[in-house]
């Protein structure tokens, strides 16, 4: 069960990080003006466009993509997943907390999406740092 949760979490983080990273790094102005896409715009409210900042965000997210994919490829190695999880947890928690302080700048749908999506990334990062023995399969404990 833990292995499956780790794989789902790493895959989700890798995909979302790749989306942000590719978008921000290779199309920084468009990313700033239109992120997250789908008719929503979350960045212009936070301050003026800065190409250096946008490309740095893209580079960081591409690094998270690489970290997540490498951990996904090595989920059976004991130390790999918790190490990746710890790095992702630091970033995702700090990112989430910052955005909680900025919710007043958004419409209700955008507020909800920020809380749900960024909160989900924190939860998935927590899953990665939980030791494998802490998550037990109900079938193995109910038969004893």
pLDDT, one tens digit per residue, over 105-144 is: 999 999 999 999 999 999 999 999 998 876 555 555 555 4
pLDDT tens track for 45-104: 999 999 999 999 999 999 999 999 999 999 999 899 999 999 999 999 999 999 999 999
Q: What is the pLDDT of residue 9?
A: 98
What's the rounded Cα separation, in Å, for the pair 89 and 94? 8
Sign of CA dihedral 109, 105, 13, 94: negative
Burial code (b: 16+ CB inside 10 Å, e: under 16) for 93-130 equals: eeebeebeeeeeebeeebbebbeeebebbbebbebbee
12, 125 contact by CB (below 8 A) = no
d(Cα 37, Cα 40) in Å, to the nearest integer?
5
Of 79, 64, 78, nearest in space to 124 by CA: 64
pTM: 0.88
Total residue count of the chain as it appears in this document? 144
């Amino acid at each position: 069960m833990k292995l499956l949760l780790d794989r789902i979490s790493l895959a989700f983080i890798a995909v979302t990080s790749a989306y942000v990273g590719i978008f921000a790094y290779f199309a920084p102005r468009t990313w700033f003006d239109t992120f997250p896409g789908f008719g929503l715009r979350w960045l212009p409210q936070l301050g003026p466009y800065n190409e250096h900042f946008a490309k740095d965000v893209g580079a960081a997210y591409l690094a998270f993509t690489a970290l997540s994919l490498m951990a996904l490829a090595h989920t059976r190695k004991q130390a790999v997943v918790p190490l990746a999880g710890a790095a992702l947890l630091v970033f995702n928690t700090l990112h989430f907390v910052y955005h909680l302080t900025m919710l007043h700048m958004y419409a209700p749908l955008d507020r909800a999406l920020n809380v749900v999506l960024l909160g989900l990334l924190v939860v998935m990062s927590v899953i990665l740092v939980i030791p494998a023995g802490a998550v037990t399969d109900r079938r193995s404990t109910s038969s004893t």
